[in-house]
């Protein structure tokens, strides 16, 4: 029976923590080595709640300041006692066999760097939010919402409820602490993928996310982080070939943000990305010393995962489909030249 450390990242999670922690303590088929609650300077009563209801069963690690989830995730990885660490958000409820199904994949595929399950919406328990994801060459995720009978390799996964090989994550990472919102979890999991530690998704392992779908908050950080991701991980040849599609997509996104009154935030994101080029170049050199999986195996031109604000309006939905068709057509042109 595999020993697993659970690292719950908490910021003001008082409304959701009880069912989340109960689902962790109720895991079957694995040994729950420990439950770490890494608290990101919460201002609500979540810590008092945990101390009162889970005394002796949850170890609280308090951080003095909230610098986003990644520093807290790294604390959980570094302080975990087990070789396998399930990093999860404070609003994800696990099925009783969730961790056991992920651990079984680690046993069958010791090369795996991270394994995730099928994340569904808590309010709509049959609706899939994530089931592993591919990466669109224009710099967007391609979410898989089709259940598979067997574990399957994906380009990247969400860290909402993911089992990490602790040694691999610390060796190739850990989480980039400069990324606060947007791409902050996919950055590490994609890095694992391209460095030969593939990510797996297991459709039969189910958990439920209490939050709603994607929002358009933190536009500036989302724009900056996307550009940093592209500059950090793409081969030069890939980047140049894909650049017309990337610019077209980013231009359409910029127009969308402008119409929503967030054009200034998007422009600042571009500026932040340009200013960060020297730092990204240093990160890129470190990555490319270990990169062994070509872009041709990790990138695609599939359907884009557009924000809910686009999907909710018929006209924008149609525009999104047209955008995807143009980008898909361009991908078919450049795909034979991607290495």
Query: Total domain count for the chain?
Result: 2
Q: What is the mean pLDDT of residues 28-50?
A: 96
Taking a C-beta distance cutoff of 8 angstroms, is the pair 246, 138 a contact? yes
Q: What is the mean pLDDT of residues 281-289?
A: 95
Q: Is there a single domain that holds both residue 158 and residue 226?
A: no
What's the token pair of residue 47?
Answer: 């810590």
Q: Is there a single domain that holds both residue 13 and residue 68?
A: yes
Q: Is there a single domain that holds both residue 133 and residue 254?
A: no
Buried b (16+ CB within 10 A) or exposed e, 155-194: bbbbbbbbbbbbebbeebbbbbbbbbbbbbbbbbbbbbbb
Q: Is 277 left (phi over 0), alpha (psi -120 to 50) or beta?
A: alpha
Q: Is there a single domain that holds both residue 58 and residue 180?
A: yes
Output the pLDDT for position 213: 47
Q: Is there a single domain that holds both residue 229 and residue 328?
A: yes
Q: Is there a single domain that holds both residue 170 and residue 230?
A: no
* Best CA proximity match to 93, nearest among 59, 64, 57, 117: 117
* Best CA proximity match to 194, nearest among 149, 239, 156, 222: 156
Q: Is there a single domain that holds both residue 12 and residue 157?
A: yes
Q: Is there a single domain that holds both residue 58 and residue 141?
A: yes
Taking a C-beta distance cutoff of 8 angstroms, is the pair 259, 315 a contact? no
Output the pLDDT for position 274: 96
Distance CA 10, CA 106 (A): 26
The CATH number of whichever domain residue 45 belongs to comes to 3.90.550.10
Q: Look at residues 156, 175, 209 and tell me which one is the last residue of a structural domain.
A: 209
pLDDT in tens, 114-170: 999 999 999 999 888 888 889 999 998 888 888 899 999 999 998 899 999 999 999
Output the pLDDT for position 294: 96
Q: Is there a single domain that holds both residue 11 and residue 136?
A: yes
pLDDT in tens, 252-266: 888 888 988 889 999
* Best CA proximity match to 245, nearest among 284, 308, 309, 299: 299
Task: For residue 100, give every residue at least 6 positions away whose Cβ sits within 8 Å of its Cβ, in sequence order, or none.
Answer: 2, 27, 28, 29, 30
Mean of pLDDT over the chain: 92
Name the pTM for this structure: 0.92
* Best CA proximity match to 86, nearest among 108, 70, 103: 103
Q: What is the mean pLDDT of residues 39-52?
A: 95
Q: Is there a single domain that holds both residue 59 and residue 109?
A: yes
Q: How many other C-beta atoms are found inside a 10 Å radius of the C-beta of residue 45? A: 12
Q: Which domain, by its residues, includes 152?
A: 3-209
In DSSP terms, which residues pair with 7 in a beta bridge? 36, 87
């Amino acid at each position: 029976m595999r020993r697993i450390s659970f690292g719950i990242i908490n910021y003001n999670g008082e409304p959701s923590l009880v069912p989340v922690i109960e689902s962790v303590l109720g895991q079957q088929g694995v040994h729950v080595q420990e439950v770490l609650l890494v608290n990101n300077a919460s201002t609500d009563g979540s810590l008092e709640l945990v101390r009162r209801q889970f005394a002796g069963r949850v170890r609280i690690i308090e951080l003095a300041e909230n610098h986003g989830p990644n520093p807290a995730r790294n604390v959980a990885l570094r302080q975990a006692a087990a070789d396998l660490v399930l990093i999860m958000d404070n609003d994800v409820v696990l099925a009783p066999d969730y961790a056991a199904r992920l651990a079984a994949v680690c046993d069958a595929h010791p090369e795996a760097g991270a394994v995730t399950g099928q994340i569904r919406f808590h309010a709509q328990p049959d609706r899939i939010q994530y089931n592993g994801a591919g990466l669109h060459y224009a710099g967007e995720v391609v979410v898989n919402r089709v259940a598979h009978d067997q574990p399957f390799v994906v380009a990247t996964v969400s860290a909402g409820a993911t089992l990490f090989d602790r040694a691999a994550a610390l060796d190739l990472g850990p989480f980039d602490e400069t990324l606060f919102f947007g791409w902050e979890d996919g950055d590490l999991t994609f890095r694992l993928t391209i460095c030969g530690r593939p990510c797996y998704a297991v459709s039969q392992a189910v958990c439920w996310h209490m939050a709603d779908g994607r929002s358009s908050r933190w536009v500036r950080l989302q724009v900056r982080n996307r550009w940093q991701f592209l500059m950090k991980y793409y081969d030069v040849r890939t980047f140049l070939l894909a650049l017309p599609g990337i610019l077209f997509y980013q231009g359409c996104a910029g127009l969308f943000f402008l119409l929503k009154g967030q054009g200034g935030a998007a422009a600042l994101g571009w500026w932040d990305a340009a200013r960060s080029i020297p730092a990204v170049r240093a990160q890129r050199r470190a990555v490319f010393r270990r990169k062994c999986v070509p872009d041709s195996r990790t990138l695609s031109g599939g359907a884009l995962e557009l924000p809910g604000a686009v999907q909710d309006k018929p006209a924008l939905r149609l525009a999104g489909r047209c955008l995807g068709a143009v980008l898909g057509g361009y991908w078919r042109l450049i795909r034979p030249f991607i290495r």
